[in-house]
Amino acid sequence: MNKKQKTVRPKARLPKGLTDTGAAEIRAMGEMLATIRKVYESYGFEPLETPAFEYTDALGKFLPDSDRPNEGVFSFQDEDEQWLSLRYDLTAPLARYVAQHFNDLPKPFRRYQTGSVWRNEKPGPGRLRQFTQFDADTVGAASVAADAEMCMLAADALEALGIERGDYVIRVNNRKVLDGVLESIGVDPHDTDHLGKRLTILRALDKYDRLGAKGVQYLLGEGRKDESGDFTKGAGLTGDQIGKVLGFVTAESGGREETLAAVEPLVAGSVTGGEGVAALRDMDALLSAAGFDADRVKIDPSVVRGLDYYTGPVYEAELTFETKDEKGRPVRFGSVGGGGRYDGLVARFKGQDIPATGFSIGVTRLYAALKSLGKLEGAAARGPVVVTVFDKERMADYQRMVQTLREAKIRAELYLGNPKNMGAQFKYADQRGSPCVVIQGGDEKDKGEVQIKDLIEGARAAESIASNEEWRESRPAQFAVAESDLVKAVREVLARHEDET
């Protein structure tokens, strides 16, 4: 006789580096994205959606922690043995889209897009495998006016979300200036033999805010071992070379003109470096003319950006305020977005440089920052009005009440659980965040009435009531109205608490 096989059930667990998102956060994030969308559209950008998957060769070799196209992304082969990958950002799919539809698009082409992106990397604190970005890009404009506009766009978006001046700054640099510094230490950014070293230097400098000068010094030299014991090979620069590079990234001197004056001697004799400084001066003039002073947008040589495809100006949106976490520890959110000019990305498809520049917001990080500031408290929606079931034989009557409320544009639902226990129904309504419940037993039905129980007022009153007997006698926040006045009565309850949502 065969023994009965044991049922093997999968363990309910969330994969590392991923998160679940509940209703309140979805609504609050939707409100935040709607605000950003309004700012982007006010600048003339139009929406675009691209698929989550792209052919792997279309994504290119631009991942910050990998030199190979299939590493760092989630990939699979289709039925034609073609490699597909989940997009790791929204810029590479845009480049493919522009190249594919180039002749039909207006130039410049201005688009915005929000959506999930995926990184096949080791997860950790603040490092997710799936997260959301919100991008704006201008393709086909070589003028630094397009780059200056991205900085203005970033500043306006943050302020529209309620982040005050002084609590953020847009930091700007130019890759050409850094390339000029690299030329001065013998690393030719245009020499294919030096591309690997250049990229290692860029990625090291991109960690300056997180690791500080000492950590970056190790990464520019022989390498660095992190707290987990993992070793990252360095760029192999000499002490003098490291000194010159660190001298550049620490050259920020307050005002934009003062910083430019400090940087210019560091790239003396470099044509590339001189072009970068000139572009930053032009951006400074445009920003000043538009009223975006150094308290909102500043030039900062420590801004590098880790991706290899940037070819000119690069920028980051940084939050400068400090708050505390749930344990009272100080927290500073730092960078919540960034971008830059990438004139060579579309060229991978077209064979010719197509100028492009863009800015990307890290939605999850920005959401956490706004939540800590209390800027999203009003985004949580009240739950639906719950019509309770007093008599299961009268489900049709209760369903009709629900429909009456819905036709009046009031969010409502019929209790669909076990109707035997009214206490369980009230508990359910509390869990749903319902502002009120509708009750109709046999007595109310005979009188042509319904009972409305204001759960918000009831909860407040319960705090000051000493006994169950007093509760039963006072029946706080519960009243009867004619069934024909159901909609009117519910609207009055909703209006009473409108300012509290």
The encoded tokens of residue 22 equal 């509940």
* Half-sphere CA count of 67, side-chain side, radius 13 A: 7
pLDDT number for residue 464: 60
pLDDT number for residue 138: 98
CATH class of 23-378: alpha beta
Bridge partner list, 357: 138, 341
pLDDT number for residue 67: 43
Class of residue 96 by CB neighbours under 10 A (exposed 0-12, middle 13-18, buried 19+): buried
The pLDDT tens digits for 95-104 are 999 999 999 9
Query: Which CATH number among 3.40.1740.10, 3.40.50.450, 1.20.970.10, 3.40.50.800 corresponds to the domain 383-500?
Result: 3.40.50.800
pLDDT number for residue 161: 96
The pLDDT tens digits for 191-205 are 777 778 878 887 888
> Which regions in the chain score pLDDT beneath 50?
64-69
Q: Which residue has the tokens 């070293």?
A: 197
pLDDT number for residue 500: 60
Nearest 5 degrees, angle CA 372-CA 378-CA 379?
A: 90
Contacts of 425 (CB under 8 A, 6+ apart): 386, 388, 389, 415, 417, 419, 437
Segment holding 162, helix H or strand E: none
pLDDT number for residue 65: 47
Cis amide linkage into residue 108, ω under 30° from 0: yes
pLDDT number for residue 415: 96
Is residue 120 within 8 Å of 258, Cβ to Cβ?
A: no
Segment holding 337, helix H or strand E: strand 334-341
pLDDT number for residue 378: 54
pLDDT number for residue 466: 57
* Ranges of each domain in the chain: 23-378, 383-500
Is residue 27 within 8 Å of 379, Cβ to Cβ?
A: yes
How long is the chain? 501
Class of residue 77 by CB neighbours under 10 A (exposed 0-12, middle 13-18, buried 19+): exposed
Is residue 33 within 8 Å of 114, Cβ to Cβ?
A: yes
Is residue 278 within 8 Å of 136, Cβ to Cβ?
A: no
